[in-house]
């Protein structure tokens, strides 16, 4: 079985990508295209942690903001409107 880190490095070194980060970005896009339900999970987590706004999270999930708000409500996730302070964002990450 191959080592994923070695494979990422080999893909970068092959000239197909400028960086290892570019390999990972491409792989993540492919994964989310193949498993669209993960888009919602990613969006919910990023929203809950305060990493993205409601509108950006909805966009990540491929939903309208109202539909994403309903998804959050169904999961019991509430977050005050507006931007989180750095301290509040750090606290959300610790949860």
Q: How many CB atoms lie within 10 A of CB 47?
A: 23
Prediction pTM value: 0.70
pLDDT of residue 47: 93
The span from the CA of 94 to the CA of 38, in Å, is 22
| pLDDT 10s digits, 64-79 | 999 999 999 999 988 7
Q: Where are the domains of the chain?
A: 1-34, 36-95
> Are the C-beta atoms of residues 44 and 72 closer than 8 Å to each other?
yes
| 95 — pLDDT class (breaks 50, 70, 90) | low
Percent of the chain with pLDDT over 70: 82
């Amino acid at each position: 079985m191959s080592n994923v880190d070695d494979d990422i490095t080999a893909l970068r070194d092959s000239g197909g990508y400028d960086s290892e980060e570019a390999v990972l970005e491409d792989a993540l896009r492919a994964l989310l295209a193949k498993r669209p339900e993960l888009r919602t999970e990613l969006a919910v987590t990023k929203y809950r942690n305060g990493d993205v706004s409601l509108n950006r999270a909805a966009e990540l999930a491929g939903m309208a903001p109202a539909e994403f708000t309903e998804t959050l409500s169904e999961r019991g996730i509430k977050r005050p409107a507006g931007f989180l302070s750095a301290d509040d964002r750090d606290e959300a990450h610790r949860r």
